[in-house]
Amino acid sequence: MSDDHDNGIDGDLPESLLPYDDWVEDAYREVMLRALEHAAVEGLPGDHHFYLTFLTNFPGVDIPARLRAQYPHDMTIVLQHQFWDLKVNRETGIVSVGLSFGGIGSMLVIPVAAITAFADPHVRMALRFSTDEPEEDFEIETEETAEDIEPVKPPAPHEDAQVVSLDAFRKRPPGGDKN
């Protein structure tokens, strides 16, 4: 029995008049924000840890000049054992956190809109976000130089602190390791 109505099975899907993609991305960002808020209040349970990738040249990103020079476009940070003062401010749309780079403590201020990826490798959960990249590199105007800013002293290392190996997340050739 045939029907005059196209059910879309054989053809392309019609363009949606509802912004489903935006709604799904908003829901994913909400998951990320809840995870960050939980870690800010309760700490990270068990072996959970977060990778946050963000655009360093996005308006409102505030990181030390040496990190901006080293990562002119984007940067991935790991929140695991040695971070402090993690805060999520939903009103301003900002995430801030203290991290140590080369033994020098630094505060990073990251607009939520600058975040392009969030992952918790412990449970193999990863989210990617679209973002409107700035048309040209954005520079924060300041009269201070990196030398004028007093380094933040990182807290004492956590007893369980360890180097995280990314080998577990790299693709392996078919057949596994033959070493």
Residues 6 or more apart whose Cβ sits within 8 Å of residue 81: 157, 158, 160, 161, 162
Q: Which has more pLDDT, 76 or 153? A: 76
* Mean pLDDT (the chain, rounded): 80
**pLDDT score at 171:** 52
**pLDDT score at 81:** 86
Give the C-alpha separation, 28 to 151, whole Å: 34
Closest CA to 115 of 33, 5, 9, 19: 33
pLDDT in tens, 138-151: 444 433 334 444 44
Give the C-alpha separation, 86 to 40, whole Å: 5
pLDDT band at 49 (very low <50, low <70, confident <90, very high): very high
Tell me the pTM: 0.69
**pLDDT score at 26:** 94
**pLDDT score at 176:** 53
Whose tokens are 């809840």? That residue is: 34
Enter the DSSP assignment of 92.
Answer: T
The whole-angstrom distance between residue 45's C-alpha and the CA centroid of its chain comes to 19
Closest CA to 56 of 137, 147, 167, 157: 137
What single-letter amino acid sits at 172? R
Q: Which has more pLDDT, 175 or 17? A: 17
pLDDT band at 116 (very low <50, low <70, confident <90, very high): very high
Residue 85 has pLDDT above 70, yes or no: yes
pLDDT in tens, 26-44: 999 999 999 999 999 999 9
SS3 label, residue 173: coil
Residue 91 has pLDDT above 50, yes or no: yes
**pLDDT score at 47:** 93
**pLDDT score at 163:** 45
In this structure, the strands spanning 115-120 and 74-79 are unpaired
Cβ neighbours of 128 (radius 10 Å): 13
The H or E element spanning position 26 is helix 20-42
In this structure, the strands spanning 74-79 and 83-89 are unpaired
**pLDDT score at 13:** 85
**pLDDT score at 87:** 96
pLDDT band at 6 (very low <50, low <70, confident <90, very high): low
Enter the DSSP assignment of 4.
Answer: S
